[in-house]
Amino acid sequence: MSPLPENTLIGMCNPLLDIQTTVEKSFLDKWGLKENDAILCDDKHNDMFTELTRDFSVEYIPGGAAQNSLRVAQWILNNPNRTVFFGAVGKDQYGELLASKAKEAGVNVQYQVNETVKTGTCAALINGTHRSLCAHLAAANTFTQDHLQKEENQKIIEQAKYFYVTGFFITVCPPAILQLASHSAEFNKTFTLNLSAPFISQFFFDKLSEIIPLVDVLFGNEDEAAAFAKANGWETTCVKEVALKAAALPKKSSKPRLVVFTQGPEPVIVVEGDKVTEFPVTRLEKEEIVDTNGAGDAFVGGFLSQFIQGKGIEASVTCGSYAAQEIIKKHGCTVPSVCKYH
């Protein structure tokens, strides 16, 4: 197999610094947050961020869903700059920290830097084995499509063969997503999308529906699958049925859509065309579970690390599950120093 060229995979999403800590359920209730959910914060959450940094012992961990996935993919590939990341940060210490951590991991970060708005943050609140995410996008929300038009970024887009965008980015810059997805379809490349969170299907379904016909690989978890089904008006919450229906939605190119839905410790459901396969997941002991923040991102990172090398679906799912388990054993989306997958 020929070596993987630089800039093979482009990721695009919101680069955020996770402010992570452990909280009681009462804290989530107080701020109107749910376990295992991800939302955009509104003004009422400003005081929550103040309270977190004042009264709790917090860790600052580089976050942002697609950036996490790329860091994990790079860790497994063990060959820098196979992946590139587009997103917006502020001209500040947090933005510099995100860039240095991503580069350290081998990701070629091509941020759009906003001189006036600060880098986005995300409260990552751990409660037992659950995680609740509340994102304050700030600079991440200011990404504009013209960043992709820059000559150096155009070259990267031409080099890339795979694209990974999260549903979260639909709230920021749909034209940029459509640009990458359309380019991918035109040149017979592979465009992958993550449903990311129930609120994307609930509140941004029109924009999501514009992108779906261009999606070659669709990722999600069981809650996101249920929200996607409801938004489509499908009378089912059965993950297999939703995956089959999602795979059968209209598509621009002729290659069959691949749908990959994770279900925590339950089997990974994969649909290719009209064929359903279940891949069992090795269950971790309760004492091995440190926190589940970043597990879904890690699964995608592991999956794509194999998929972009042309390895089959089984190898990709196996590596995705391996990566998710490694992340669950540590705080935040942080990887062990050595990757034992090889």
- For 127, phi then psi, to 5°, come to -135, 100
As a whole number of angstroms, the distance between CA 285 and CA 25 comes to 22
Neighbours of 3 (CB within 10 A): 8
The b/e string for 40-74 (b: 16+ C-beta within 10 A; e otherwise) is bbeeebeebbeebeeeeebebbbbbbbbbbbbbbb
DSSP strand pairing (162-166 vs 130-136): unpaired
SS3 221: strand
Which entry of 216, 223, 291, 297 is annotated as an active-site residue? 297
**Residue 340 is encoded by which pair of tokens?**
């034992």
**Residue 146 is encoded by which pair of tokens?**
């013209």
**Per this entry, what is the length of the chain?**
342
As a whole number of angstroms, the distance between CA 119 and CA 77 comes to 28
Residue 11, classified by CB atoms within 10 Å of its CB into exposed (0-12), middle (13-18) or buried (19+), is: buried
Whether residue 297 lies in the annotated active site: yes
CB 112 within 8 A of CB 144: yes
- Residue numbers annotated as active site: 297
